[in-house]
């Protein structure tokens, strides 16, 4: 269970990115975080695993307050939080397999990782994950030879091999075409369900969020404006989050067509 208490972030420039956020996410819940650009979605996710240091407030993952940890303890805690990035953030000159295995860096020592001598258990798990997302044949390709959707799948594997309790997902579909976006979102949500993972998914695309998640949180100017189910997301609510606009077209129920997912390599 993840709890944010009065989380506050002010950048050096004086911008208040987060204004005292309180949020509770039970185990196994997948939550979509929506809001306009600059609302503080990215900052919030990065404050949880402290890629961005919060100014004040607490972040509780089960029984530990992450904001109080020393840098060594923080590394231990980060292993429990897998992160998926907008631009995939794969290390492009490493192979797919190295990228996936880099998710285990928090568990293996420096020399083992330097010499690429990962435990057999990790290697097997990496193969299983790559097979699950349909990229087993690509294992020894270099990451920059892959397409956008394939790279994001590798990014997902890297997050999952950490064996996390929580996934932090930052705009997973922003650089992808609509069809691939939907496949990726479905994959993430399926994997969360399979493994009982909680997840926070930053997402621009409201319709896509409504389609896959059970809870939506709307952020505006660093404060929570909405917290409820996708069905409660009415045009009025969207206006308070994003401002005046004709919303009917956006939240029109999108039928989830039966697509071939996963194996499309």
Partner 1 sequence: MPYHEQNGTRVWQRRTRSESLTRWFGWLLSVAVFVYCWQQISAATTWFFVTDAPRIAGDIWDRATPPKWEYFAQLGRPIWDTLNIATLGTIIALFLAVPTAFMAARNTTPSTVFVRPIALLIIVSTRSINSLIWALLLIAIIGPGVFAGVVAIAIRSIGFCAKLLYEAIEEINEVQVEAITATGASRWQVMVYGIVPQILPAFAGIAVFRWDINIRESTVLGLVGAGGIGLQLSASLNVLAWPQVSLILIVILFAVVISEWVSAKVRGAII
Partner 2 sequence: MRSAISPELNALIGQKWQRPPLVKRAWLRWMLMIGFAAYLIASFMTIDVNWTRVYEGLDRGAAFILAFTSPDFTSRAGDIWDGMVESIVMTVAASVVGIAISIPIGLGAARNIAPMPVYLICRGIVAVSRALQEIIVAILLVAIFGFGPLAGFLTLSFATIGFLSKLLAEDIESMDRVQAEAIKASGARWMQWINYGVQPQVMPRLIGLSMYRIDINFRESAILGLVGAGGIGATLNTAFDRYEYDTAAAILIIIIGIVMALEYLSGIIRARVQ
Q: Which does 237 bind (CB under 5 to 8 A by kind): partner 2, partner 1, none?
A: none
Rounded to whole angstroms, how far apart are CA atoms 45 and 52?
9
Out of 1, 8, 69, 89, point to the residue binding partner 1 (CB under 8 A).
89
Q: Does 240 bind partner 1 (CB under 8 A)?
A: no
Q: Least distance (Å) from partner 1 to the CB of residue 37?
A: 17
Out of 24, 56, 137, 179, point to the residue binding partner 2 (CB under 8 A).
137
Q: Is the dihedral of CA 9, 15, 20, 23 positive or negative?
A: negative
Q: Which is nearer to partner 1, 144 or 259 (CB)?
A: 144
Q: Does 152 bind partner 1 (CB under 8 A)?
A: no
Rounded to whole angstroms, how far apart are CA atoms 104 and 239?
43
Q: Which stretch binds partner 2 (CB under 8 A): 21-29, 91-99, 227-235, 250-258?
A: 91-99
- Which of these, 228, 196, 233, lies nearest to 215 by C-alpha position? 228
Q: Which does 77 bind (CB under 5 to 8 A by kind): partner 2, partner 1, none?
A: partner 1
Q: Which stretch binds partner 2 (CB under 8 A): 75-83, 84-92, 135-143, 153-161?
A: 135-143
CB 44 within 8 A of CB 217: no
Q: Does 128 bind partner 2 (CB under 8 A)?
A: yes
Rounded to whole angstroms, how far apart are CA atoms 173 and 64?
31
Q: Does 145 bind partner 1 (CB under 8 A)?
A: no
Q: Does 114 bind partner 1 (CB under 8 A)?
A: yes
Rounded to whole angstroms, how far apart are CA atoms 252 and 142?
40
Q: Does 175 bind partner 1 (CB under 8 A)?
A: no
CA dihedral 116, 119, 120, 122 (to 10 degrees): -90
- Which of these, 176, 168, 184, lies nearest to 43 by C-alpha position? 168
At CA 245, angle to CA 243 and CA 248, rounded to 5? Answer: 125
Q: Does 183 bind partner 1 (CB under 8 A)?
A: no
Out of 23, 31, 59, 90, point to the residue binding partner 1 (CB under 8 A).
90
């Amino acid at each position: 269970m993840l709890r944010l208490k009065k989380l506050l972030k002010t950048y050096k420039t004086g911008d208040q990115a987060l204004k005292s956020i309180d949020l509770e996410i039970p185990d196994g819940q997948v939550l979509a975080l929506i809001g306009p650009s600059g609302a503080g979605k990215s900052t919030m996710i990065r404050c949880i695993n402290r890629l961005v240091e919060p100014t004040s407030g607490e972040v509780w993952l089960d029984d530990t307050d992450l904001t109080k940890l020393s840098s060594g303890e923080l590394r231990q805690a980060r292993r429990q939080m897998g992160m998926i990035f907008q631009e995939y953030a794969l290390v492009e000159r490493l192979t797919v397999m190295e990228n996936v295995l880099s998710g285990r860096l928090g568990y293996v020592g420096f020399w083992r990782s330097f010499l690429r001598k990962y435990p057999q258990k990790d290697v097997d798990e990496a193969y299983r994950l790559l097979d699950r997302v349909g990229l087993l044949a690509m294992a020894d390709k270099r990451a920059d030879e892959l397409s956008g959707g394939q790279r994001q799948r590798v990014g997902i594997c890297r997050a999952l091999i950490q064996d996390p309790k929580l996934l932090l997902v930052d705009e997973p579909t922003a650089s992808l075409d609509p069809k691939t976006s939907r496949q990726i979102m479905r994959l993430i949500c399926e994997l969360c369900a399979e493994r009982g993972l909680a997840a926070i998914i930053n997402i621009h695309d409201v319709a896509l969020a409504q389609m896959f998640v059970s809870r939506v949180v709307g952020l505006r100017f660093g404060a929570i404006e909405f917290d409820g189910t996708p069905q409660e997301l009415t045009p009025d609510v969207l206006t308070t989050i994003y401002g005046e606009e004709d919303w009917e077209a956006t939240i029109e129920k999108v039928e989830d067509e039966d697509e071939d997912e996963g194996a499309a390599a």
